[in-house]
Structure 1
C-alpha cells in the first residue's frame, strides 16, 4: 500500500512539474512571438527572444500532443498559446494552398547576400564565379546585392562584363568587407544613402523608373550579429549537445553579443523607417540582409510603414535564408508597398554559392480592380 501511495505521489508531482513547464514554455512562446514590440534600444535582451520562437513552438506542440494522450483537459493550455500566437506563427511559417503564377507584366526581383561573391574565389583557375553564373541565369529584372565587393580576380570589369545585359548598375562601398550593388533593366533616376552610424553597414535608396512609374527602392545590410567562427561553433555545440557543461557560459556569451547587435539594428531600422515616412514616392520596395528574423523589431518597424512581406504574402514554409554554422533562419527579406502584388516568393536553396540563399519574387502593380 505504501509503495502504491508513494507511486501516486510521485506521479502527481511529475504531472505538476510537467504542467508548470508547459505553462512556462507557452508564456515564452507568447513573449517571443510578440517580441517585435520590444524596442532593443531599451530592452535588448528581451527583444531577441524571437530567436527562440521555433523551439518554443515545437515544445508547445509537443505538450499539446502529450496531454491529449495523458490528461486531455490540460491540452487547452498549449492550444490557447497557439491560438494567441496565430499571427506570429503565420508570419514565421506562412502557408498557401495555391501559388498562382505571375501574370504578364510582372517584374522579377532578386536580393542576394553574395558573401563577397563567394569570398572572391574560383573553384579552379579560369572557372566562372558561381555567384555570377547564378545571377546571369536568374533573369531577374532588378538585382540587389549585399556584400558586393570587388577583390582579387573578381574585379569590377569582370563583374560588369558578366552582367552586361543590365544597362543600369550602381555600387556603394562602405568598409573593407562590405558593399551594396544593384543591377537593373530599369533606369536609375537617383541614388541616396540613408544616414545612420555604422562602420560596416549601410542602406541605399534608389529611385527607379519602372514602366513609367517612379519607385523608391531601399537596399539594406543591417548590423550583423558579429559572431566569430568560435561563437558559431559554441552555438552549434549547444544545439547538438544541450547537456554540455558549456551551455550556460555559451548562452551568456551569445545572448550578450546578439543583444548588442540587436540594439544597433534597431537604430538603423528607425532611420530607414523615417526615410520611408518622409519620402513622397507612393510605391516602395525595401529589401536586403536585415540580419533579423520576421518576428524582430527591425522587421516590424519597417513593415509598419505600409509594407507587406513578400514571403509571408506569397511564400511557403520557414524559408531559411542563412545556411551556415547551424544558424538556420530567414534574415533576408523583400518588402513591398500595398500597391503591389507579389507572386511565388522563393528562398532559392539551389544556390549554394554563399552563406545566404538568394530570395526572389515576382512583383506587379495592382490594378484598380485588385
Structure 2
C-alpha cells in the first residue's frame, strides 16, 4: 500500500510539474513574435487558467505533503512579474496630489450605437461627470439625425473641454473614429498609419502648463470574432462538451492568432513612436484588444509603466461581453509619471467596454 501511495504521489507531482511548465510557457509567451508563430503566441490567453490550476496543486501539497509545495512556489516566483501585471494588488490608497491630471480612456461602442433615452446618453453623462482632464475615446461616432447622438449633442455634454480632435482611422472607406477631448491645448495630431481596415492610432502633442507631453490614443486590431463566434465561445464555457470544445477551440484560436499577428506589427509601430518622442512625458492609452500577457502589451509597454499595475487592484476586466473576461484597455505612462487610483469602472455598462481612468502626476526620478 505504501508503494502504491508513493506511486500516486509521484504521478500527481509529475502532472503538477507539467502544469508548472505550461504556466511558465504562457507567462513568457509575450516573447514569441505572433507574425512568425501566431498560434504559440496565443498561449498567454491561458495564463489565468494555469495560475488557478497551480494554486489548486499548491493547496493540495500544503495539506498532503507540504514540502512538495516548494515546486509550485518556485513556479510562481519565476513568473511573479507576470502575475503582478495580470492581477496587481495595491494596498496603498493615498490621494493624488493637487497638481495632477485625470486621464480617462473609453471605448464607447459608438456611444452605445448612438442611442438616446429620453434625449440623454448615459456614456456622455458619465464623461461629463468624470471631471477628467483628458478623455481619449475609441469607436467615436455621431449621427446627423437628431433622434440619435449628434456632434452637437456631444459638444453640449463635453463643453468643459475647449480642445478636441477627431480623426478617422483605418482605410479610406472606414468610418471608425478616435477622439481626444482635453482641458489643455492640443498642439498637433498625427494618425499613425499601419495596415488595418478599421483600426488605428493617433499621436497628439498637448501643452499642459509648462510641459508638452506626447499622448497616443489607440484602437488596435480586433480579434475578428463574429457574433456567431462569440456565441460558440459562450457555449463552450457554459457547456464544455469534448467535441464542442475541440471544434470551437480550433476556430477561435485560428482567428485569434491571425489578429495577434496583425497587432504585432501595429505594436512595433507604436513603440517606435514612443521611443522617437521628443517630449519626456508620455501617455499611451486605449483599446489594445489584447491581454496584459501578450506580445502586443509587452512591446508597447517597453520603457513605460502600466497605471493599473502600479495603482490598481484585481483583474481589472475591461471587456464585458460574451464572458471574455480580460483587461484589454490600458493606460501606460512614462517613468517620470506616477499613477494613482487607476480604476476600471464597472459602474456603467452601456458599452461593450468599461472605462479605465487614473490620476497621474509628475515624479522626480532619483539619480542613478
Q: Do both share a fold (TM > 0.5)?
A: yes
- Counterpart in 2 of 1:327? 324
Answer with 276-285 or 354-363: which moved more.
Answer: 276-285
Any unmatched runs of 5+ in structure 2? none
TM-score (norm. length: structure 1): 0.93
- Counterpart in 1 of 2:177? 179
CA offsets 1:38-74 (integer angstroms, 9 cap, x no match): 1111111111111111110000000111122223333
The answer to whether the 8 Å contact 1:215/1:284 transfers is: yes
The residue correspondences of 1:301-320 to structure 2 (distance < 5 A) are 301-304=299-302, 306-320=303-317
The residue correspondences of 1:84-163 to structure 2 (distance < 5 A) are 84-122=78-116, 124=117, 126-151=118-143, 152=145, 153-163=148-158
The residue correspondences of 1:1-370 to structure 2 (distance < 5 A) are 9=4, 14-122=8-116, 124=117, 126-151=118-143, 152=145, 153-174=148-169, 176=174, 178-304=176-302, 306-367=303-364
Secondary structure at the aligned position of 1:329 is classed as coil
Cα distance in 2, alignment partners of residues 345 and 368 from structure 1: 21
Secondary structure at the aligned position of 1:245 is classed as helix
Cα distance in 2, alignment partners of residues 185 and 260 from structure 1: 39
Secondary structure at the aligned position of 1:186 is classed as coil
CA offsets 1:347-370 (integer angstroms, 9 cap, x no match): 011111111110000011124779
The answer to whether the 8 Å contact 2:336/2:365 transfers is: no
Answer with 267-276 or 225-234: which moved more.
Answer: 225-234
Secondary structure at the aligned position of 1:317 is classed as coil
Cα distance in 1, alignment partners of residues 21 and 232 from structure 2: 27
Cα distance in 1, alignment partners of residues 243 and 7 from structure 2: 27
CA offsets 1:208-263 (integer angstroms, 9 cap, x no match): 00112010100000001011122112212222222342111111111111111000
The answer to whether the 8 Å contact 1:147/1:177 transfers is: no
Query: Matched residue pairs, number?
Result: 361
Secondary structure at the aligned position of 2:140 is classed as coil
Root-mean-square deviation (Å): 1.7
The answer to whether the 8 Å contact 1:149/1:173 transfers is: no
In the TM superposition, residue 120 of structure 1 has moved relative to its aligned partner by 1.3
Any unmatched runs of 5+ in structure 1? none
In the TM superposition, residue 177 of structure 1 has moved relative to its aligned partner by 5.2
Secondary structure at the aligned position of 2:94 is classed as coil
CA offsets 1:271-306 (integer angstroms, 9 cap, x no match): 1111112222211110000001111111111111x2
Cα distance in 2, alignment partners of residues 196 and 99 from structure 1: 40
Cα distance in 2, alignment partners of residues 86 and 32 from structure 1: 13
Secondary structure at the aligned position of 1:96 is classed as coil
In the TM superposition, residue 18 of structure 1 has moved relative to its aligned partner by 2.7
Secondary structure at the aligned position of 2:186 is classed as strand
TM-score (norm. length: structure 2): 0.94
